[in-house]
Amino acid sequence: MIRLEPAGERAAILYLGSVISEQSAARVSAAVELLQDSFGSALIDIVPSYTSILLTYDINHYNYFSFKHAVCSALSELAENPMSRSPSRIVEVPVYYGEEVALDLAEVARSTGLSGDEVIRLHSQQHYNVYAIGFAPGFAYLGLTPKELRVDRKKTPRLKVPCGSVAIADNQTAIYPSVTPGGWQIIGRTPMSLIDWQSESVSPFTVGDAVRFRAVDKETFLAQGGCLDEF
């Protein structure tokens, strides 16, 4: 399935699936690559998400209909079920799961019926795909979490989530790159900086990459620049 819809006079949204799945994610990643290769600088902004890609294009080069035609030809090779390609990169993220920073670990343990250690083991035993980035700069939606770890969002969101907090909600996990409001359940904190305005890439990962969490102890967390304060 490929469907393109106008999104204003200089953008269009491309739908590549209708459910959140590894298959949709693989199609989105494959399509981003094909579109970048064939359009180059005529594509001004590309916002991939779970099942769609928002494309801002140069209307001095294309009108909507010629753009639609060009997108379809660029994607003629796109498989319905692309090989779940090995992710372009696996980014390892150190996480301290200690109680000073794992603000909701006890609550997560209670609602899942797991021990704190089991939550940590499950969370850090697999790699996650970056499905989408948004909400705030560098905020990556990572999935899917193991079934045993699925919890609801907090009933009352926090007004301020500490920077670097690692959190879970529904079937996904994420890291808060900056202090923002947030309703996800916090189970740890990374010392890694997730936003660097001075670097070309800004964020350590992009949609299509994979992330793996590695549990570290308090000393390592602090030695890597981690901060135990709330803010």
Sign of CA dihedral 157, 163, 167, 172: positive
Answer positive or negative: Cα dihedral of 124, 125, 127, 128.
negative
188-204 CB burial, b ≥16 within 10 A, e <16: bbbbbebeeeeeeeebb
**Least CB distance from residue 70 to another protein, whole Å?**
15
Kindly tell me which of 138 and 188 has the beta carbon lying closer to another protein. 138
Which CB, 17 or 102, lies closer to another protein?
17
Nearer to another protein, 156 or 201 (CB): 201
Q: How far is the CB of 98 from another protein (least distance, A)?
A: 28
> Could you give the CA distance from residue 100 to residue 102 in angstroms, rounded to a whole number?
6
Question: Would you say 119 or 133 has its CB closer to another protein?
Answer: 133
Cα atoms in the Cβ-side hemisphere of radius 13 Å centred on 20:
14
Which residues are at the interface with another protein (CB under 8 A)?
5-13, 18-20, 44-54, 56, 59, 63-65, 132-139, 141, 197, 202-203, 206-207
Closer CB to another protein, residue 53 or residue 103?
Answer: 53
Location of structure tokens 């697999």 = 126
Distance CA 18, CA 36 (A): 23
Smallest separation, CB 2 to another protein (Å): 15
